[in-house]
Structure 1
Amino acid sequence: MIYQNLSIVDSGTIRRLIISREHKLNALDKRSLAELHHAIADSIADKSVRGVILTGAGDKAFVAGADIADFADLDTEQGRTLAREGQNKVFDLIHHASKPFIAAINGYALGGGLELAMACHIRVAVSSAKLGLPEVSLGLIPGYGGTQRLTQLVGRGRALEMILSGDMISAAEALEYGLVNHVVDPSILFSKAMDIANRIASRSSHAVNLAIQAVNAGLDPAQNGYEAEIDAFGQCFGTPDFKEGVAAFLEKRKPNF
Structure 2
Amino acid sequence: MECSHGYVRVDYDDEIATIVIDGERRTNAIDLPLAVDFREAVRWVEQSDARAAVVRGAGGTYCAGGDLTQSPEQFIEAVDTSLDAIVQMYESGTPYIAAIERVAVGGGLEIAVACDLRVADADATLKLPEASLGIIPPAGAARLLVQHVGLSRARDLLLTGRSISGATAADWGLITRTTDDPESVVETAQSLARTIAEQPPAALSALNKAINAAFPQPISSAKWDLELAKPLIQSEEFTDRKRGFLDQ
TM range (shorter): 0.7 to 0.9
> Given the superposition, is the C-alpha separation of residues 86 and 10 from structure 1 closer, same or farther in structure 2, using an over 3 Å criterion?
closer
Residue 161 (1) aligns with residue 156 (2): yes
Amino acid at match of 1:30: L
Segments of structure 2 that go 5 or more residues without pairing to the other structure are 219-248
Query: What is the correspondence of 1:71-86 to structure 2 with a 5 Å cutoff?
Result: 72-74=71-73, 79=76, 83-86=79-82
Residue 62 (1) aligns with residue 58 (2): no
1:33 alignment counterpart: 35
Amino acid at match of 2:96: F
In 2, the alpha carbon distance for the partners of 1:82 and 1:19 equals: 15
> Given the superposition, is the C-alpha separation of residues 23 and 33 from structure 1 closer, same or farther in structure 2, using an over 3 Å criterion?
closer
Residue 179 (1) aligns with residue 178 (2): no
TM-score (norm 1): 0.79
Deviations 1:139-185 (A, max 9, x none): 10100001101111011111111111111101111011111101112
1:254 alignment counterpart: none
TM-score (norm 2): 0.81
Contact 1:22 1:57 in 2 (8 A): no
In 2, the alpha carbon distance for the partners of 1:100 and 1:73 equals: 33
Q: CA deviation at 1:83?
A: 4.6
Segments of structure 1 that go 5 or more residues without pairing to the other structure are 223-257
Query: What is the correspondence of 1:110-189 to structure 2 with a 5 Å cutoff?
Result: 110-184=105-179, 185-189=181-185
2:85 alignment counterpart: 90
2:196 alignment counterpart: 200
In 2, the alpha carbon distance for the partners of 1:116 and 1:200 equals: 20
Q: Which structure ranks higher in relative contact order (CA pairs < 8 Å, sequence separation ≥ 6)?
A: 2
Q: CA deviation at 1:32?
A: 0.9
Contact 1:51 1:101 in 2 (8 A): yes
In 1, the alpha carbon distance for the partners of 2:72 and 2:207 equals: 42
Bigger-Rg structure (1/2): 1
Q: Percent identity?
A: 31
In 2, the alpha carbon distance for the partners of 1:194 and 1:73 equals: 36
2:46 alignment counterpart: 44
Amino acid at match of 1:32: L
The count of aligned residue pairs is 215
Deviations 1:83-130 (A, max 9, x none): 55432x111111011111100001110000000000000000012210
> Displaced runs of 4+ in structure 1, greater than 4 A?
81-85
Contact 2:31 2:78 in 1 (8 A): no
Residue 190 (1) aligns with residue 190 (2): no
Secondary structure at the aligned position of 1:69 is classed as coil
1:5 alignment counterpart: 7
In 1, the alpha carbon distance for the partners of 2:55 and 2:48 equals: 16
In 2, the alpha carbon distance for the partners of 1:142 and 1:54 equals: 20
2:221 alignment counterpart: none
> Given the superposition, is the C-alpha separation of residues 74 and 7 from structure 1 closer, same or farther in structure 2, using an over 3 Å criterion?
closer
CA RMSD of aligned residues (A): 1.9
1:219 alignment counterpart: 215
In 2, the alpha carbon distance for the partners of 1:22 and 1:126 equals: 24
Q: CA deviation at 1:22?
A: 6.2
Q: CA deviation at 1:11?
A: 2.1
In 1, the alpha carbon distance for the partners of 2:54 and 2:120 equals: 12
Contact 1:22 1:58 in 2 (8 A): no
Secondary structure at the aligned position of 1:23 is classed as coil
> Given the superposition, is the C-alpha separation of residues 203 and 164 from structure 1 closer, same or farther in structure 2, using an over 3 Å criterion?
same
